[in-house]
Amino acid sequence: MDRNTRYFYNIASARRRNNRIESLVINGRLVRNHARIKVATSDFYRKLYQQKASPNISFRDGLVNQLEMEEAQALEVLPSEEEVEDAVWDCESSKAPGSDGYNMNFIKKCWEEIGVEFTKAVMTFFETARLPADFNVTWIALAPKFVGTKEINDITPMRMLGYIYKLIS
């Protein structure tokens, strides 16, 4: 385990300095104001990931005829409590934590205490088709691709999703 030594602290501090975005070139101008950088990156990724209009497909367009009756009924069956638990154990434990700070390892280690409530939360989604807003919180961190990043294209967005949302999806 890493101890809080001077060496470890210096490495962590150097990494933080290297990953810090001090300025970006936006529309050909160097911007150092953090508020303007936040707005510019938000606008950039909003435009980049903008959903394009998709064709409207209805049931009358023959989509339903592609499924057999058994297949259609199987899609509407609620998952069992055992399936929810199996899905938890199939998830990667050590991935980055969600917005609440916990990862799937926490859920697995504390399954005896919180398994019933966790399963109930997942089952409620499938029964009501409603996802509470706090289950779908996504945090985005911008990570520079290399030290000294100056262009917005040299930044990678990393998403941290909540574990209940991951499990449901």
Nearest C-alpha neighbor of 107 from the set 162, 160, 27:
162
CA distances from 106 to 94, 130, 155 (A): 9, 25, 30
CA distances from 117 to 46, 89, 138, 166 (A): 35, 16, 22, 16
CB atoms within 10 A of CB 140: 11
For residue 31, what pLDDT is reported?
Answer: 81
| Cα 85 from Cα 120, distance rounded (Å) | 11
Q: What is the pTM of this model?
A: 0.57
Rg of the chain (C-alpha set): 22
Instruction: Provide the residue-wise pLDDT of the chain in tens; the chain has 169 residues.
Output: 457 788 888 888 888 887 778 888 877 778 888 888 888 888 888 888 787 777 776 655 665 567 778 887 888 888 999 999 999 999 887 776 666 667 788 889 999 999 999 899 899 998 888 888 777 777 777 788 887 788 888 888 877 777 777 788 8
For residue 4, what pLDDT is reported?
Answer: 74
